[in-house]
Structure 1
């Protein structure tokens, strides 16, 4: 046979000493058993064996017996126990499941860490997982740590291990690692029925458990073989260096699409070095390439041509994800993030998710407008119930008999009742029963018909809740939060894989990890993400055991050499599994340059280069011709259509016409962002109120008189108090006294500094403060509020617009499209016939207050230059005099109004930075346009492109 100890020292498992057998040569049945490195490989082998038998013309065959080493040991020894071959008295105790063992370790950790001052900073869940893994490594690999290599982490692990062992001895419980060793000992003593032949498959690193099993089977006369994976001679792979990971995924998807078009019954495999990180990107690329017409929820139930072998975590499937969030809210901390509650309120899976969807969305908007970013569940429910009562009264007046307000109110009240019932400690099964009752009261899993995978997920969650009774003995009485965390952990660990019976044939494309070698013949293989940072995998020794000891014992995860050898062998298996093999990697990730894996050196020397542009070419389609529509122009504004927005509408039209159309004609908007009582807008409103209270009906002479008499601080305090009082009357909730006091101090200091600047101006009197106007521009009604209009001694006007931030700018006033049109509108449309001296933005800020604008002559406003002094911006040939500037403004604003009325709605802008505050930016689809441009550049000849106004 072979020297197993030498193999262990080398960190290898497979050697040529074992004869090889092909999968097609196995008849199946109990006489042949295949021990697989992973459960996924065992499943794949059973499927591939059945396909091989069918290709051989057999109508009936016995299924292949495949399992992992641990699974086969458990099955074999359990059968010996049931048959009486092993007496029940020989059992060492009650075998614990992984879910039962975990609370023992968590209790041991918490008992020791309770005295640690920084215990809350530890990731207990990850630490428990590391401790369980360390215990298995410690026992299976027979680890002994010399005293000089003992670390603090190792000593802590040994203490936890002893605490767990003591509890197990007292209760006659057996951990997973101990149970595995006991079954192995039974096998070595001759227990269990043995197969005639045993094959091993997929083991590319040393495994001590397999080593001992094979030694025992060899002594019992079982013929040992190695499964031969090769289905063809190794081929020279083509390779693709892609621009980034997204481009790499698009190229792989295009390659799969081309194969699918040429051969409908194709079998492809895309293997990823970093599947979890790339899965979403690759899934989107495959959807776009294979089902470009699949837009909308109606396509969700239909089978896809690709499948992810890993499946999806149960916790991420929508009904279960909603259930976990609802339970978390019921048992969670006293403070609740309003944004998270709003997302849950609009989520499917509970309380009228279909019939009350609009009602719940409107409630979300209401809560965002009246509650701070962090609040309590009790406060949320109280506000919600009050709002729902008002909506119910409106529905009754409108004779709406199908109102959903009461049903939603009942669900929210049930949520608050659940929160009240979540205190105290109880057995896990008690909390599981409560969780199930709470979900039922909340209308889970909702009204929408569930997809097959969603129904399966709901059943899986119910199974986990029912199985919680098994934790009562080991976990004892626990808090609701701990029960929820254990349920969430199990939902994350359990993966829902593609269900048998949901489609008539195997999907053409399977996506898996690079370590999941294929079991049967394939038409094509694409190995994706072969960068040096992820392939071969980096060593990850267990943090609780000394890394040097792990490397000395040959533990694969601790040795870079072992991992590299295993990766090289897996790569060789992939090369011999299909007629076409493609290796790809990314050249860049963000600003970071990447390099291919060093394991590709030999392949790059013999393989050909695959063009990224060729891989991304669209396949010829047999679908009907697609009509190209120019959506740059919307319907013209009709006579009965009311378009709102005021100066903001004109500003949006100037920056990007599509912004104005989506926001002000279609009514698209972002949800209000919950804030801690005073956001930038609220502070700006307070400033406007205070300045209005000070200046209304006054002149600069009044300000100078206050300053000379020393009464200015008292007057400032009075107007600030008046502003705060008015703000409180308008607000949904009054400001807390402490916050109001801080805001009063801030406003008083701000006004004092600003008024000192105003005192340096030439004499003026205030004609209007916060004056409202309704005007018509080319038939477009526009409502305006002029912050302030001053009159100089000679009767000319100075128009001011307060700005409490530093984002506003006057640079666009000389451009064809006015992105800051407020003051130009006032100057040219509200007061077209009045003599005008200056227009300026009044930046009332604490660090650099001042004016920014343009004046007919210098010296009218501090820091504001005259038109003649700004000729770099206002060219003489375009703006020869002051009236020309006003005519330019009038013409530009008129043209913007005409565009709106005519339906001009193209996605164009001069500077993408102008879209920083665009509320409908996702609707502009800038990323999609950028991606389309990049794909086009990959196809076109270098240098092809278009110049002109940015279309972003």
Structure 2
């Protein structure tokens, strides 16, 4: 039917007479209702009758509800979740389905295919036109689906037009005086069938084309590249809206997913600069994304999904971190405490897999008094999980729905603070999906909670997140924009590969059947006509419009769409004044001569690490040990290097606590030595708790590895001269310069003539006696320990390098041969070395106490590589390394 042009006043008068206005989708209906309400306000009205404006599907469902209430329809109208459930059942009944794709994906594709076939009224022709294997299989699925719905008195949504035509002919559907169609790009055969039935019954059906009745200002422009195009387009729209307060605009994007990472930051910068401030409370933005993301991706909804997943089993540390710090749970009133618990308790945990059970997290919280509130919250969740596990394993969807609501109540979900308007809409949409889950009991079935959770998350993924309806900027597809009306329109990326958008035939319906009925994607000339109609409607959607393209992308040269040939091309500089750059802030220079405050006490935490960090880089020591800046530890799968070192130290401590000397070690037979090693390793590992059998298996494997390592180490102990272990993990206080440091020595041995050997266990390969030398020793712990006793008693210093392979050995210095194994040891006179160490370490202690915090890494290639303070020191590491290379070349030249 030809579309009749109409202006806003005429359209509003028609609505006041009780005419029904139909739009193709809900967004278009909301847009026209807004226009109607704005006109009533401008007319000075305070109360008015809501406009009778509905989208097509909403109108059909209202008519069906009226028929049910009047007793003229007994069939159950299926919702999307119910239809998907039936289609999944159909797919699973096909023995070949597993060879094609996952059942849910096939069910969704079949659902869409049946909806398409019904809209074009070809569903009865699928069988005899099918020539391909996929088309024949789909035809069989449709027949199976129709038998099921007919048997159980069910009405698919795709068949609603056909059902209403039948009831209309039986005079059961109330007639309308007039139906207006507005914004339809193409009225499909099933819609035409129903509208013709209304027309035959006496209803006047009119298709309208909206006329703004305002001067048209359409233009196109080309920018050098895609980044400049986006920025220019958004600036143009901001300039327009600043000049026209209260106007509504559309940003039309053919490929939002592709450009979203670039578009979103620019939207914030140009239209909502206040959200750049992390302390800003107002996060409401003036745009809404009508190309809505799934409800499943919303942060509030995500926290509910994670709660249910955690009740079912371990949760990944990434999801657990998001849940603990979510503003939508019972932990939200004290977000700092939740963040600390996550950063300093959860993340550093030793885990075989980067995930954690609810019970294990509760145990961790109970061990820390400062996390009592978190422990209580976790306890409630764990109790709920235990009670849920005691329920019958298979229950109805409605029963699991009640369980889900009880879980969310237990977790105080979305209840910690008042929700804003957008959050309220999201919660209502979430509740609607939960209620829809209960409707899956339309068939008698029982499911597990895991199956319920899987279907629940699928439905959340199939539901769009509600949009911010108060925004005056709408981001949408060309198809959505063509059915609405705006004051201004910005079309981005209007290139020949995106405008028109390519149409594709449905993969399950025979292509010849689709071509015979003129369905999209099967006939190039018809597709071109569709694209031309769509573009014409886009031009009608707003009196002011700008189409932008880029001259090139990083991949290729670009060309404007041929559709833009009728649009005047204008130079960008004539559309918008040059961008005003922010004024350059003049830097104020000042002399940093204020002395740092004195240390509050000579007793400094950190032990020998204070001197080690000061030797590596003064700024590193200052930032970490005086400012307290350090990296947050992250949980690793299994033992990290620190965990492994701790286990090794504890196992050796337990071994020598029982064995005591080399003589006792020699007196053991092979079985006794093995048992002593096993006992020591078991004691070292007993404090590590496990979550499941995977962790048990991991610890068993690690236990065998540690036992093998200690067995391999024992020959190196036997190659030494006689010794007695007199101390392990010895804790003492060392005075060095102005500092008092607490030291913990791994092991002290007594050797001949009451001499002392200090031993430091190492699992790495880098520690050698050369790291004790110079003004900035890399490993100052052993030299510092040597300064605490009499030089005459100092018989040896050594690294015990317990590292599998050829690098396993003692490395150190002794006053004479036989104290340490011959390989890896050197004979020295300690008196000169002790004097040099005292000078070097005392100097480092004074530097730290005096606040000497120069950024001066001893070896940038080592000290800067994994430094956690790079963000603070802001040194250009590349330039620093280049300087080191140039210095080395000069020294060799």
Residue correspondence of structure 1 range 47-126 to structure 2 within 5 A: 47-48=34-35, 66-74=53-61, 81=67, 89=72, 91=73, 93-112=75-94, 123-126=102-105
TM-score, normalisation: structure 1: 0.69
Residue correspondence of structure 1 range 518-533 to structure 2 within 5 A: 519-523=484-488, 525=490, 527=492
Could you tell me how far apart the structure 1 residues matched to 2:426 and 2:407 are?
Answer: 18
Tell me what 2:635 maps to.
673
Q: SS of the residue aligned with 1:270?
A: strand
Tell me what 1:136 maps to.
115
Residue correspondence of structure 1 range 728-767 to structure 2 within 5 A: 728-731=685-688, 742-750=701-709
**Change over 3 Å in CA distance of 1:813–1:138 after alignment to 2:** farther
Tell me what 1:328 maps to.
309
Q: Is the 8 A contact 2:654 2:684 kept in 1?
A: no
Could you tell me how far apart the structure 2 residues matched to 1:598 and 1:809 are?
Answer: 65
- Matched residues, number: 856
Q: Which moved more, 1:299-308 or 1:886-895?
A: 886-895
* Structure 2: runs of 5+ lacking an equivalent: 827-831, 883-893
**Change over 3 Å in CA distance of 1:150–1:799 after alignment to 2:** farther
> Aligned pair 1:178/2:155, yes or no?
no
Tell me what 2:643 maps to.
682
Q: Is the 8 A contact 2:723 2:752 kept in 1?
A: yes
Tell me what 1:29 maps to.
14
Q: SS of the residue aligned with 2:328?
A: coil
Could you tell me how far apart the structure 2 residues matched to 1:807 and 1:556 are?
Answer: 68
Using the TM superposition, give the Cα deviation of residue 133 of structure 1 relative to its aligned residue in structure 2, in angstroms.
Answer: 0.8
Q: Is the 8 A contact 1:310 1:497 kept in 2?
A: no
Using the TM superposition, give the Cα deviation of residue 384 of structure 1 relative to its aligned residue in structure 2, in angstroms.
Answer: 2.6
Using the TM superposition, give the Cα deviation of residue 639 of structure 1 relative to its aligned residue in structure 2, in angstroms.
Answer: 0.7
Using the TM superposition, give the Cα deviation of residue 727 of structure 1 relative to its aligned residue in structure 2, in angstroms.
Answer: 0.4
**Change over 3 Å in CA distance of 1:616–1:103 after alignment to 2:** farther
Q: Is the 8 A contact 2:397 2:437 kept in 1?
A: yes
Tell me what 2:623 maps to.
661
Using the TM superposition, give the Cα deviation of residue 126 of structure 1 relative to its aligned residue in structure 2, in angstroms.
Answer: 2.8
Residue correspondence of structure 1 range 203-242 to structure 2 within 5 A: 203=185, 207-210=188-191, 212=193, 222-227=205-210, 232-239=216-223, 241-242=225-226
Q: Is the 8 A contact 1:317 1:454 kept in 2?
A: no
Could you tell me how far apart the structure 2 residues matched to 1:862 and 1:262 are?
Answer: 87
Could you tell me how far apart the structure 1 residues matched to 2:465 and 2:434 are?
Answer: 17
Could you tell me how far apart the structure 2 residues matched to 1:715 and 1:581 are?
Answer: 87
TM-score, normalisation: structure 2: 0.73
**Change over 3 Å in CA distance of 1:59–1:343 after alignment to 2:** closer
Tell me what 2:779 maps to.
823
Could you tell me how far apart the structure 2 residues matched to 1:634 and 1:552 are?
Answer: 87
Cα displacement string for residues 394-422 of structure 1 (whole angstroms, at most 9, x for unaligned residues): 99xxxxxxx74785366235423442244
Q: Is the 8 A contact 2:329 2:411 kept in 1?
A: yes
Q: Is the 8 A contact 1:803 1:843 kept in 2?
A: yes
Could you tell me how far apart the structure 2 residues matched to 1:771 and 1:567 are?
Answer: 82
Q: Which moved more, 1:124-133 or 1:574-583?
A: 574-583
Q: Which moved more, 1:687-696 or 1:422-431?
A: 687-696
Tell me what 1:384 maps to.
362
Residue correspondence of structure 1 range 157-556 to structure 2 within 5 A: 157-184=138-165, 193=175, 198-201=180-183, 203=185, 207-210=188-191, 212=193, 222-227=205-210, 232-239=216-223, 241-242=225-226, 265=246, 267-276=248-257, 279=260, 282-294=263-275, 299-300=280-281, 303-310=284-291, 313-330=294-311, 332-333=312-313, 337=316, 340-341=319-320, 343-351=322-330, 353-354=332-333, 358=337, 362=341, 372=351, 380-381=358-359, 384=362, 388=366, 404=373, 407-408=376-377, 411-466=380-435, 468-474=437-443, 476-498=445-467, 506-517=470-481, 519-523=484-488, 525=490, 527=492, 542-545=506-509, 554-556=518-520
Q: Is the 8 A contact 1:537 1:564 kept in 2?
A: no
Residue correspondence of structure 1 range 703-718 to structure 2 within 5 A: 717=674
Q: Is the 8 A contact 2:349 2:635 kept in 1?
A: no
Could you tell me how far apart the structure 2 residues matched to 1:896 and 1:562 are?
Answer: 82
Using the TM superposition, give the Cα deviation of residue 130 of structure 1 relative to its aligned residue in structure 2, in angstroms.
Answer: 1.6
Using the TM superposition, give the Cα deviation of residue 232 of structure 1 relative to its aligned residue in structure 2, in angstroms.
Answer: 2.1
Using the TM superposition, give the Cα deviation of residue 657 of structure 1 relative to its aligned residue in structure 2, in angstroms.
Answer: 4.3
Using the TM superposition, give the Cα deviation of residue 170 of structure 1 relative to its aligned residue in structure 2, in angstroms.
Answer: 1.9
Using the TM superposition, give the Cα deviation of residue 786 of structure 1 relative to its aligned residue in structure 2, in angstroms.
Answer: 5.3
Tell me what 1:44 maps to.
31
Could you tell me how far apart the structure 2 residues matched to 1:632 and 1:255 are?
Answer: 49
Could you tell me how far apart the structure 1 residues matched to 2:109 and 2:181 are?
Answer: 31
**Change over 3 Å in CA distance of 1:925–1:104 after alignment to 2:** farther
Cα displacement string for residues 488-515 of structure 1 (whole angstroms, at most 9, x for unaligned residues): 3444444453466xxxxx5343333344
Using the TM superposition, give the Cα deviation of residue 530 of structure 1 relative to its aligned residue in structure 2, in angstroms.
Answer: 6.7
Could you tell me how far apart the structure 2 residues matched to 1:791 and 1:160 are?
Answer: 85
2:548 to 572, 579, 583: 583
Using the TM superposition, give the Cα deviation of residue 805 of structure 1 relative to its aligned residue in structure 2, in angstroms.
Answer: 5.0
Using the TM superposition, give the Cα deviation of residue 241 of structure 1 relative to its aligned residue in structure 2, in angstroms.
Answer: 1.7
Could you tell me how far apart the structure 2 residues matched to 1:414 and 1:635 are?
Answer: 53
**Change over 3 Å in CA distance of 1:33–1:355 after alignment to 2:** same
Could you tell me how far apart the structure 2 residues matched to 1:431 and 1:312 are?
Answer: 26
> For the aligned residues, what is the CA RMSD?
6.3
Tell me what 1:639 maps to.
600
Q: SS of the residue aligned with 1:823?
A: coil
Could you tell me how far apart the structure 2 residues matched to 1:610 and 1:718 are?
Answer: 85
Using the TM superposition, give the Cα deviation of residue 587 of structure 1 relative to its aligned residue in structure 2, in angstroms.
Answer: 7.4
**Change over 3 Å in CA distance of 1:225–1:538 after alignment to 2:** closer
